[in-house]
Amino acid sequence: MDEVLDRDIIDAVRRFVDRDVIPVASDLEHRDEYPHALVARMKELGLFGATIPAEHGGLGVGFGTYARLMEELSRGWMSLAGVINSHLIMAYIITHHGTAEQKARFLPAMARGEKRGGLALTEPHAGSDVQSIRTVAKRAGEDYVLSGSKMFITNARHGTMLAVAAKTNPTAKPAYAGISMFAVEKSERGPTVSRNLKKLGYKGIDTCEVLFEDVPVPAANLIGGAEGQGFKQVMSALEVGRINVAARAVGVAQAAFESAIRYSQQRVAFGKPICQHQAVQLMLADMATRLEAARLLVANAARKKDAGERCDLEAGMAKLFASEACAKISLDAMRVLGGYGFTVEFPVERFYRDAPLMMIGEGTNEIQALVIARRLLELHAI
Ligand SMILES: Cc1cc2nc3c(=O)[nH]c(=O)nc-3n(C[C@H](O)[C@H](O)[C@H](O)COP(=O)(O)OP(=O)(O)OC[C@H]3O[C@@H](n4cnc5c(N)ncnc54)[C@H](O)[C@@H]3O)c2cc1C
C-alpha cells in the first residue's frame, strides 16, 4: 500500500473516531455493552484486514500505519483496538506460518471481518509461563481432539474462531517443543465460552473463559501442518501484539493529555486559568514529553518490523515505556481535572481505568523488562 492511501485510511479512521466513537464511548463502556454498530463500521473501513496482505484481500498496510490506526481508535475508545488486535495476531500467524491452503481458506474471510479471530494462549494457571499450558491436542484419525481451558480470551464470545495453543506432545523437553497452534472455528461441538470476565476497565469487549471438552478440530487446521511449531509461531506474532498495545497506550495517553490541556485553560482558580499555575504547567510539560517519547518508540519498533528486522527489543521497549507513560499521564490528567476528573462526567476516569491493561496484556511489563535485558545482554556480550 502506498503512502497516500495509508494517509487516507488514517484520516478516515480519525474522522470515524471523532464523529462516531467519542460521543458514545463512555456510555457504552459504563454499560459494558458490546459496540456492535462501531464494529460493523470498522468492518466497512477494512480494519479487520489492516495488516493482511492485499493478495489475500486485506489492506496490507505496514506496521507503522497499523500503529497509527490503533492509536487513533484508542484515542476514542481503547476497547475497539482490542477487537482488532487478537484478530490480526491470528491473521499474522496464518499469513506467516500457515499452509497455502490455510491462507486461502481463512485470510480473505478474516480480511472482510466475516470470520473474526482471537488468540487463546493463556490458561487459568499459566499466563507469562506459556510453556506450562495444559491444554492437549490428541490426534484421532482426521482430527485432533482438544481438551483444556483457556482464560482471559479476548473476542471469544463475539468472534468466530480462535488460534489455540495446545500441547501435541505434553512430555516434550524442552516443553515449548511440544506446543502446536490450531485454527479452531467455533461450532456446536465446542469450544464453550463459559463466562465473560468482569473488569476494571477495557469494558464492552468480551474477555472470556473458554472450555475445550474433547473438541474435534480437523488436522488440516494444525497451523503450518507440522506439530511442535506453535511456540515459535506465537512468539513472532506477539511482536505485532506488543506494537499494538504500545500504540493503544499512546492513543489513550493522547486523549488524556488533550482533556487535561483543554480543561486547564477553562478552569479558573485564584483568579487565573489553572494552566497559568506553574504546578499545572510542570504536569502538562511532563505529560507531553512522555507522550512524544512513547510515540517515537512505537514508530521505531514498527519501522524495524516493516523492514523485516528482528524487533523484540524495540517492541518490548515501546510496550514497556508507552504503557507506563499512559498510566502516569492518565493519573496526571485526573489531577489536572481535580474533583471532576474523578467523576464520570469526563472521560479521564475511563482512561485511568483502561491504562493498566496495557501494563499487563501481551506480556506483563516485568516480562518485557526480562525480554529487553536478555536481548541487551546478547548484543553487548563480552
Ligand atoms: C483484559 C485482558 C485481556 C486478555 N486477552 C488475552 C487474549 O486474548 N488471549 C490470551 O491468550 N491472553 C489474554 N490475556 C492474558 C494476559 O496475556 C495475561 O494476563 C498476562 O500475560 C499475564 O499472565 P497472568 O495473568 O497469568 O499473570 P502471571 O503470569 O501469573 O504473573 C503474575 C505476576 O508475576 C510476575 N511474573 C511472572 N513470571 C515472572 C518472571 N519470570 N519474572 C518476573 N516476574 C514474573 C508478572 O509480571 C506479574 O506481575 C488477557 C488479559 C487481560 C487482563
Residue closest via CA to ligand 1's atom 16 equals: 361
**Peptide bond before residue 347 is cis, with ω within 30 degrees of 0:** no
**128 ligand 1 Cβ < 6 A:** yes
In this model, does residue 8 exceed pLDDT 90?
yes
Residue 105's region, left for phi above 0, alpha for psi from -120 to 50, else beta, is alpha
Q: 3: Cβ–Cβ under 8 A, 6 or more apart, which residues?
A: none
**Quick one: pLDDT at residue 4?**
79
| Residue that has been written with the C-alpha cell 476514542 in this structure | 76
pLDDT tens-digit series, residues 248-287: 999 999 999 999 999 999 999 999 999 999 999 999 999 9
pTM: 0.97
In this model, does residue 10 exceed pLDDT 60?
yes
Q: Is 164 helix (H, G, I), strand (E, B) or coil?
A: strand
**241 ligand 1 Cβ < 6 A:** no
**Quick one: pLDDT at residue 5?**
79
Query: How far, in Å, from the CA of 366 to the mean position of ligand 1?
Result: 10
In this model, does residue 114 exceed pLDDT 70?
yes
Share of residues in the chain with pLDDT > 70 (%): 99
pLDDT tens-digit series, residues 194-246: 999 999 999 999 999 999 999 999 999 999 999 999 999 999 898 889 999 99
CATH class of the region 3-111 = mainly alpha
Q: Hey, which residues are catalytic here?
A: 362
Query: How far, in Å, from the CA of 318 to the mean position of ligand 1?
Result: 18
CATH architecture of the domain 119-228 equals: Beta Barrel (2.40)
* Site to substitute for ligand 1 among 122, 149, 358, most atoms within 8 A of C-beta: 122
The pLDDT confidence band at residue 1, using thresholds 50, 70 and 90, is: low
Region 322-328 average pLDDT: 98
Note the residue count of the chain.
Answer: 382
Please state the separation of Cα 113 from the chain's center in Å. 17
Beta bridge partners of 140: 143
> Given the CA of residue 85, which atom of ligand 1 is nearest to it?
8
**215 ligand 1 Cβ < 6 A:** no
Nearest to 67 by CA among 54, 84, 79: 84
Residue closest via CA to ligand 1's atom 25 equals: 127
Query: How far, in Å, from the CA of 360 to the mean position of ligand 1?
Result: 6
Residue closest via CA to ligand 1's atom 3 equals: 152
**127 ligand 1 Cβ < 6 A:** yes
Q: Where are the domains of the chain?
A: 3-111, 119-228, 232-379
Rounded distance, CA 371 to CA 122, Å? Answer: 18
Query: How far, in Å, from the CA of 131 to the mean position of ligand 1?
Result: 13
pLDDT tens-digit series, residues 121-143: 999 999 999 999 999 999 999 99
Q: Is 127 helix (H, G, I), strand (E, B) or coil?
A: coil
**Peptide bond before residue 174 is cis, with ω within 30 degrees of 0:** yes
Residue closest via CA to ligand 1's atom 30 equals: 127
Nearest to 6 by CA among 86, 81, 62: 62
CATH class of the region 232-379 = mainly alpha
Rounded distance, CA 178 to CA 162, Å? Answer: 19
**363 ligand 1 Cβ < 6 A:** yes
* Nine-digit cell string for 337: 481535572
Strands (E), the chain: 119-120, 136-140, 143-154, 161-167, 179-185, 192-196, 207-218, 268-269, 272-273
**162 ligand 1 Cβ < 6 A:** no
Query: How far, in Å, from the CA of 340 to the mean position of ligand 1?
Result: 33
